[in-house]
Amino acid sequence: MDDQNKNLILATALSFVVILVWFLLFPPPEQPTDPNAPAQQEETVDGGPVVAPSAQSDAATTDSAPADVQEASESPRVEIDTPRLAGSVSLQGGRIDDLQLKDYTETIEPDSEIVHLFNPVGGQDAYYALYGWAAGQGLDPADVPGPETEWQAEAGATLTPDTPLVLTWESPADLTFTRQIAVDDDYMFTVTQRVENTGGDSAALAPYGILRRHGEPVNAKNFFILHEGAIAMADGELTETSWDNMTDLDVNEREGARAEVTEVAEDGWIGFTDHYWMSTLIPDQGQRFRATAKYDEQRDIYQAEQVLPTMTVAAGESAEVSTRLFAGAKEWETIREYQNQPGLFARLFGAEQNSDRQPIDRFVDSIDWGWFFFLTKPIFAVLHFLNGLIGNMGVAIIVLTLLIKALLLPLAYKSYVSMAKMKELQPEMEKIKERAGDDRQKLQQEMMGLYKKEKVNPASGCLPILMQIPIFFSLYKVIFVTLELRHAPFFGPFQDLSAPDPTSIFNLFGLLPWGAPAEGTMLALVFIGVLPLLLGASMWLQQKLNPAPPDPTQAMIFAWMPWVFMFMLGSFASGLVVYWIANNTITFTQQYLIMRSQGYHPDVFGNIKSSFKRKSGGDAKDAKDAKKGGADKK
């Protein structure tokens, strides 16, 4: 290790090589076409005949029972209107199958449509939630509400936070079913199902909830750093099953499809997660239920189920059960509040836990924090706090970089001091090498003795560099995964820090009357924007703290490295590039000041001028002189 700057650049190179290899091994595929062309669909509820409860288990067993479904435009509907949600509930089956997120648009363009989360059967990307009762012993499927059941609602009813929707249906088996759907000001529905037995015989039936997606989502990223697919929490254990892995599940004879079944004893939830959106079925915490992630390959349907224990309702009695449905954006603050934990920003200003809400076990883990969760969680918490304080995510990223560099400053200082001592010991180390000759064991022993005598740790210079790599990957994860970076503006043309730099050399950064190359094309990789250019310049300037290595091959590699990384990072999220520019700038300043404090004067301008000189084969002496002048001892 000749100096800290070269080590830092080398570690940076290695980290980006790892990223590049990942991109080559796991390239994001092209956007798939919709596998469910609008056509007549068949709808089934996995809530048919129920096996009578046994001594071992009283959980319901469900089978599939085909039933016809009307097109979305033909079914009667009740409007959903909340501060953050719009859509409708289909009275056919009582399905929540039309849901839009008012606060989010598909793009940053002014005329962009708002995000559609749920879509009815018969349209593109059908995705919905449905509830019901599985018929048990003594009941037929026609005796319980199914997907084709026509529920009744009051005329002019609208589902709002202040006015729950009440649906009713009379069964031919003398059972009266009532379903109340309530919604809060954010994204949480509460579905209360009630059955009243007005007949003369008892009835056994099991309440269930289902989330169903027809085909893999058309906008799935399918990127290795992000989980998309089924997600479940069962008694403290998180399970993530991607769309591809769901199609490879073992066939479960009881479920009649590829399925993974989990018996949850107390606390849990199950659902589907996209990049920024999620839907989740949540029974009351402490409630035993069966969670199933299922794939029906015949109809290409992905399904998440919650089936609660079978209830036996005697004649003249009634039974009721309430469950929740989260359907919305994966906002960190909102999800933490549903977990009954206010976020960092709220807690610092005295927010208390909401005792009116039943806590949801580890609900914040529905956000994909990754393997480095012990870094990604606190990094995001600080970034979120800074953004709330400053009001600009780009500036918050720069301030976060300052804080990280301040935390690592003692290590960086100690690293350079240790390297300076290593340079002072260089003559003595050369003498040891001459005495030891080819005896490697003797060489190692004498070297270790010298380090111990002079109190020098040769590995201390690597610690700050090793710390940088997981921090970089963690911040990359945070910027790529979290919703708060989506469409987050910085300034000028940089209105979405989760997207690549929108500027381009191709049109002189907007000065010429034509657009930039389309994202993802070869031209876009070549004609990069202003942020990657600043990144390359900052890396190049950082190199100039030290003279070029005397070895021509090594010097050529170091000379090309900033410009190679500049093009490699051109397609990365602009928020990550902002972080790396700030990191390079702060590192340059720190390194310069530390070198001055140790009695060395970096000749930055001299090193820059020498890098433009053409060196012939006889210029080795000039290179040696440049190296000597690069850090003159005071």
| DSSP notation for 117-185 | EEB-TTSTT-EEEEEEEEE-TT--GGGS--TT-B-B--TT-EE-SSS-EEEEEE-TTSEEEEEEEEE-S
How many of the other CB atoms lie within 10 Å of CB of 310? 22
Triad 358, 168, 74: Cα angle to 5°: 105
Q: Is pLDDT above 80 for 548?
A: no
Residue 473 has, within 13 A of its CA and on its CB side, a CA count of: 23
The confidence band for 294, taking pLDDT boundaries of 50, 70 and 90, is very high
Report pLDDT for 341. 62
Q: Mean pLDDT, to the nearest integer, of 74-85?
A: 92
Q: Identify the helix (H) or strand (E) that includes residue 600.
A: strand 600-602
% of the chain exceeding 90 in pLDDT? 48
CB distance 134 to 48 below 8 Å: yes
HEC per residue, 359-393 = CCCCHHHHCCCCCCHHHHHHHHHHHHHHHHHHCCH
> Residue 581 phi/psi, 5° resolution?
-65, -45
Report pLDDT digits (tens) over 384-400.
999 999 999 999 999 99
226 contacts: CB under 8 Å, gap ≥ 6: 275, 368, 480, 481
Beta bridge partners of 258: 251, 295
The percentage of the chain sitting over the pLDDT mark of 70, rounded to a whole number, equals 79
461 — pLDDT class (breaks 50, 70, 90):
low
The least confident of 21-30, 191-200, 431-440, 612-621 is 21-30
What is the C-alpha separation between 494 and 496, in angstroms, rounded? 6
Q: Which among 46, 61, 59, 74 has a CA at the least distance from the CA of 147?
A: 46
How far apart are the C-alpha atoms of 595 and 616, rounded to whole Å? 31
**Higher-confidence residue: 452 or 232?**
232
Q: Which tokens in the block code for residue 243?
A: 């769309």
Q: Tell me what pLDDT residue 17 has.
A: 54
Query: Given this model, what pLDDT does residue 604 score?
Result: 78
For the ranges 61-70, 312-321, 414-423, 625-634, the maximum mean pLDDT occurs at 312-321
Q: Using 50, 70 and 90 to split pLDDT, how confident is the model at 620?
A: very low
What local confidence, expressed as pLDDT, does residue 353 receive? Answer: 52
**Is the pLDDT reported for residue 42 higher than 90?**
no
pLDDT value of residue 274:
95
Q: Is the pLDDT of residue 265 over 90?
A: yes
- Does the pLDDT of residue 225 top 90, yes or no? no
Q: What is the pLDDT of residue 550?
A: 64
Q: What is the mean pLDDT of residues 229-235?
A: 96
Mean pLDDT, to the nearest integer, of 319-335? 96
Q: Which pLDDT does position 317 carry in this prediction?
A: 95
CB neighbours (10 Å) of residue 140? 12
Average pLDDT, the chain: 81
> 92 or 224, which is more confident?
92
Checking if the pLDDT of 633 tops 50, the result is no
* Cα–Cα distance measured from residue 209 to residue 327, given in angstroms and rounded to the nearest whole number: 13
Mean of the pLDDT values across residues 538-546?
84
Q: Is the pLDDT of residue 506 over 60?
A: yes
Judged against a pLDDT cut of 50, whether residue 62 lies above it is answered with no
**Amino acid 218: pLDDT:** 85
Mean pLDDT confidence for 313-335: 96
CA dist 366 and 289 (Å) reads 19
CA distances from 596 to 1, 545, 601, 603, 628 (A): 20, 11, 6, 11, 16
Segment 575-597 mean pLDDT: 88
**Tell me, what amino acid is at 362?**
R
Q: Which residue has the tokens 């290795």?
A: 224
Q: Is the pLDDT of residue 188 over 70?
A: yes
Whole-angstrom distance, CA of residue 495 vs CA of residue 488? 6
Residues 55-77, mean pLDDT to the nearest whole number: 45
Closest CA to 366 of 307, 308, 302, 304: 304
Would you place residue 349 in the very low, low, confident or very high pLDDT band (cuts 50, 70, 90)? Answer: low
CA neighbor of 47 nearest in space, from 141, 173, 169: 141
pLDDT at 260: 96
Which has the closest alpha carbon to 278: 353, 227, 346, 340?
A: 227
**27-36, 381-390, 501-510, 534-543: least confident range:** 27-36
- Say if residues 266 and 285 touch (Cβ distance below 8 Å): yes
pLDDT confidence band for 34 (50 / 70 / 90)? very low
Higher pLDDT, 166 or 56: 166
Window from 12-26, 326-340, 503-517 with minimum mean pLDDT: 12-26
Of 209, 243, 178, residue with least CA distance to 325: 209
Predicted confidence (pLDDT) at residue 58 exceeds the cutoff of 60: no
Q: How much is the average pLDDT of 231-244?
A: 95
Q: With 50 as the cut, is the pLDDT of residue 622 above it?
A: no
Q: Find the angle CA(346)-CA(370)-CA(114) to the nearest 5 degrees.
A: 65
pLDDT of residue 27: 45
- Looking at the predicted structure, is the pLDDT value of residue 283 above 70? yes
So what's the pLDDT on residue 3? 46
- How many angstroms separate the CA atoms of 356 and 352, rounded? 11
How sure is the predictor about 463, in pLDDT bands with cuts at 50, 70 and 90?
low
Reading the block at residue 116, the tokens are: 């559609």
Q: How far is CA 472 from the centre of its chain?
A: 15
Instruction: With cut-offs at 50, 70 and 90, classify the pLDDT of residue 545.
Output: confident
Give the 3-state secondary structure of residue 473: helix
| 448 C-beta neighbours (distance < 10 Å), count | 11
pLDDT at position 522, please?
Answer: 77
